[in-house]
Amino acid sequence: MVEDKIMLALKDIAKTKEEIRDIKKDMRAQEKVDNEQYTQLKTSLKELKAQIKDMEEDWKEDLKKDDYYNKLREMLQNKEEDFAKISGELFTAVSSLPAKPVIMKMDTEEGPVNIQIQPEMKVYVNGKEEKKRA
Domain borders along the chain are 47-134
Q: Residue 73 belongs to what H/E stretch?
A: helix 67-95
Torsion angle, alpha carbons of 70, 75, 80, 85, to 10:
140
pLDDT tens for the 134 residues of the chain, in order: 788 888 889 899 999 999 999 999 999 999 998 899 999 999 999 999 999 999 999 999 999 999 999 999 999 999 999 999 998 888 888 877 777 888 888 888 888 888 888 777 677 777 777 776 65
CA distance 97 to 74: 35
pTM of the full structure: 0.53
Structural contact between residues 59 and 85, judged by C-beta atoms closer than 8 angstroms: no
